[in-house]
């Protein structure tokens, strides 16, 4: 039988099946045709011995409007991170969203889903954050977008910080919640340096809403109370079905807040890098596998992290037709990694550091059955 690509001898880490087993993946057209190479011949064979093979990862928090926002990076910087789908976190508003789709999303190999900013144009300039005053909201124009891009638009985004909302954060949050209810859409809220107390924001969010930057502590406020315990409002929000995203970035992640929260069993629902032009490729945020490695240093297993970066976002944000998987019949979106054992030091903006001993390094990325990126030197 004829195939296009065979990835041989990789250790499969697939949330759809328990455990880790060494298998081949046979790719024919856009699909995974088989998980044994017996009887197959392919134009291209890749030896993945000693590597982990996972479904293509989803970075649940990125900014990829590179042509219309100073915050944006090119979506093409994601496949070298093993990322095959991503969620843009409100880089465009109702005025420039169509341009974002045409110039960035539709041209990219990466499947990009989006939250649309409640402000008319989203964060265009780094000098001047977006205007989130409710008098700029447009229910009619947002409803038009919702209808135009079914399956790609996930809801509304509000950046609730002193930079955008000044001191009138509560009014803005309430107006955005009302707008999202009227549109029957979730609201994703950037919670960092907020004029509204973190626990109060959590108390107002509803099932399916997203609380971004769960382990931030800017402005002296976090999900932890003065004694370091997770606020009851945060725990109740989780019970109600509020989704907590890491949205790592640089200023929005504190190692100490993460460690304390994790010690109390408060882990994240989504793992996003908050990759943007401000942080990409700089110390702190090298991409999703780097943040996954940081979470391995915080005690997570590779299998947990692969779940967090594949089936979790698919289920919680209702992305994609079916859950990412490496089973025969699934879409051929695949990432190959090495797990290098060596000392690594992870840092945060406070200057705190965390020692780890493994680093997940991407080797090959396949989207829709095509090799879209390969680490030079990998199986040459």
Residue ranges that bind Zn ion, judged by CB under 5 A: 89, 274
Residue 328 CB, nearest approach to Zn ion (Å): 36
Burial 125-147 (b: 16+ CB within 10 A, else e): eeeebbebbbeebbeeebeebbe
Q: Which is nearer to Zn ion, 164 or 325 (CB)?
A: 164
Residue 158 CB, nearest approach to Zn ion (Å): 11
Of the candidates 211, 214, 134, 206, the one whose C-alpha atom is nearest the C-alpha of residue 173 is 134
Q: Which is nearer to Zn ion, 108 or 117 (CB)?
A: 117
Q: Is 291 left (phi over 0), alpha (psi -120 to 50) or beta?
A: alpha
Q: Which is nearer to Zn ion, 10 or 123 (CB)?
A: 123
Measure CA 152 to chain center.
15
Q: Which is nearer to Zn ion, 233 or 274 (CB)?
A: 274
What is the helix (H) or strand (E) element at residue 145, kind and residue range?
helix 139-148
Handedness of CA 105, 248, 157, 234 (dihedral sign): positive
Of the candidates 62, 182, 41, the one whose C-alpha atom is nearest the C-alpha of residue 113 is 62
- Cα–Cα distance between 224 and 217 in angstroms, integer? 9
Tokens of 249: 């970035």
- Cα–Cα distance between 96 and 124 in angstroms, integer? 10
Residue 131 CB, nearest approach to Zn ion (Å): 17
Residue 251 CB, nearest approach to Zn ion (Å): 11
Q: Which is nearer to Zn ion, 89 or 94 (CB)?
A: 89
Residue 263 CB, nearest approach to Zn ion (Å): 26
Burial class (CB in 10 A: 0-12, 13-18, 19+), 283: exposed
| Contact call for residues 335 and 84 (beta carbons, < 8 A) | yes
Q: Which is nearer to Zn ion, 87 or 202 (CB)?
A: 87
Residue 276 CB, nearest approach to Zn ion (Å): 6
Q: Which is nearer to Zn ion, 15 or 68 (CB)?
A: 68
Residue 367 CB, nearest approach to Zn ion (Å): 23
Q: Which is nearer to Zn ion, 66 or 274 (CB)?
A: 274
Q: What are the residues whose beta carbons fall under 8 Å from the beta carbon of 81, sequence distance 6 or more?
A: 57, 59, 287, 288, 289, 362
Tokens of 269: 């629902």
Pairing of strands 52-55, 41-47: unpaired
Residue 34 CB, nearest approach to Zn ion (Å): 39
Q: What is the dihedral of CA 311, 109, 340, 250, to 10 degrees?
A: -80
Q: Which is nearer to Zn ion, 208 or 272 (CB)?
A: 272
Q: Which is nearer to Zn ion, 14 or 274 (CB)?
A: 274
| Count of residues in the chain | 380
Residue 101: DSSP 8-state: I
Residue 61 CB, nearest approach to Zn ion (Å): 6
Residue 114 CB, nearest approach to Zn ion (Å): 12
């Amino acid at each position: 039988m004829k195939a296009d690509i065979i990835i041989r001898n990789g250790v499969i880490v697939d949330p759809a099946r328990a455990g880790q087993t060494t298998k081949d993946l046979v790719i024919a057209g856009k699909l995974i045709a088989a998980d044994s190479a017996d009887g197959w011949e392919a134009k291209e064979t890749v030896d993945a011995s000693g590597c982990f093979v996972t479904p293509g990862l989803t970075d649940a928090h990125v900014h990829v409007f590179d042509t219309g926002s100073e915050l944006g990076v090119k979506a093409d910087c994601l496949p070298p991170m093993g990322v095959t789908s991503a969620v843009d976190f409100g880089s465009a508003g109702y005025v420039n969203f169509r341009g974002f789709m045409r110039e960035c999303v539709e041209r990219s190999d990466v499947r990009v889903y989006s939250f649309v900013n409640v402000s008319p144009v989203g964060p265009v300039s780094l000098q001047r954050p977006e205007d989130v005053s409710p008098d700029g909201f447009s229910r009619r124009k947002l409803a038009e977008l919702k209808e135009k891009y079914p399956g790609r638009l996930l809801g509304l985004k509000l950046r609730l910080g002193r930079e955008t909302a000044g001191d009138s954060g509560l009014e803005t949050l309430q107006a955005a919640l009302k707008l999202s209810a009227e549109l029957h859409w979730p609201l994703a809220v950037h919670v960092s340096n907020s004029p509204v107390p973190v626990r109060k924001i959590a108390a107002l969010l509803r099932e399916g809403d997203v609380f971004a930057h769960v382990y931030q502590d800017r402005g002296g406020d976090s999900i932890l109370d003065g004694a370091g315990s997770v606020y009851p409002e945060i725990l109740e929000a989780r019970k109600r079905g509020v989704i907590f995203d890491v949205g790592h970035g640089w200023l929005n992640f504190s190692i100490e807040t993460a460690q304390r929260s994790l010690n109390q069993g408060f882990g994240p629902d989504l793992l996003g890098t908050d990759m943007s032009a401000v942080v990409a490729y700089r110390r702190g945020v090298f991409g999703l596998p780097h943040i996954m490695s940081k979470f391995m240093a915080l005690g997570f297993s590779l299998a947990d992290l692969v779940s967090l970066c594949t089936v979790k976002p698919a289920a919680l944000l209702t992305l994609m037709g079916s859950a990412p998987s490496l089973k025969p019949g699934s879409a051929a979106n695949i990432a190959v990694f090495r797990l290098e054992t060596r000392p690594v030091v992870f840092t945060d903006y406070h200057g705190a550091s965390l020692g780890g001993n493994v680093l997940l390094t991407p080797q090959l990325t396949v989207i829709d059955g095509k090799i879209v990126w390969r680490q030079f030197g990998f199986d040459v």
